[in-house]
Amino acid sequence: MIKFYKISEKQWLKDSTCKVYDASGNEKQVISKNDQYANIKLPKRATTGSAGYDMYSPFSFKLEPGEMVHIPLGIKAEMDDRVVLFIVPRSGLGFKYGFQLTNTIGVIDSDYFYADNEGHIQAKFRNTLHTTLMINEGDAICQGIFMNYLITDDDDTNGIRNGGFGSTDKKN
């Protein structure tokens, strides 16, 4: 099973704040969109040959050079074991406008779907060029690519996830 869903409206109400940070990392602007739940768009491939599922911004915002933005996307992904979802920049935004994920690639594990935050996929970007970038609500801002992965023959992992970002290295 591989499928995208919206997070619940209850989770959206908790997470529906987009934050813009200045070049020094100080919070500059907060955009709240509690009323946008109905407008969250599920990821979609643009063409039959597309590997990536475009992911859309539920917010409109402007980024000056060097600024960052944290965007809750309002979506989650259910996938089989041994499948991972990579969140990567859309090549046009990165190449033309220097719009980059701050962690370069997002890794969404299959068990993240069951995390305390419902597996809510969020992303943080930086404007790396010397020009202002405007993103409109509904614009495709990144893409998700599903991939199978292998594990070693002697793998004996038995940990269980219960948190969100950065939780896999925490001890229960």
- Mean residue pLDDT across the chain: 91
State phi, psi for 75 to the nearest 5 degrees: -130, 165
Q: Which fold has domain 2-148?
A: Deoxyuridine 5'-Triphosphate Nucleotidohydrolase; Chain A (2.70.40)
| pLDDT value of residue 172 | 46
What are the sequence ranges of the domains in the chain?
Answer: 2-148
The predicted-structure confidence for 124-159, as pLDDT tens digits, reads as follows 999 998 899 999 999 999 999 999 999 999 999 888
Q: What is the pLDDT along the chain (172 residues), one digit of tens a residue?
A: 999 999 999 999 999 999 999 999 999 999 887 788 988 999 999 999 999 999 999 999 999 999 999 999 999 999 999 999 999 999 888 888 889 999 989 999 999 999 999 999 999 999 998 899 999 999 999 999 999 999 999 999 888 777 655 555 555 4
- Residue 35: DSSP 8-state: G
Write down the pTM of the prediction: 0.90
Rama region for 66: left / alpha / beta (φ>0; ψ in -120 to 50; rest): left
Distance, in Å, from the CA atom of 120 to the CA atom of 87, rounded to the nearest integer, reads 13
The b-or-e profile of 65-101 (16+ CB within 10 A means b, else e) is: ebbbbbbbbbbbbbbeeebbbebbbbeebbeebbbbb
Closest CA to 32 of 75, 70, 89: 70
Tokens linked to 4: 């995208």
The predicted-structure confidence for 61-73, as pLDDT tens digits, reads as follows 999 999 999 999 9
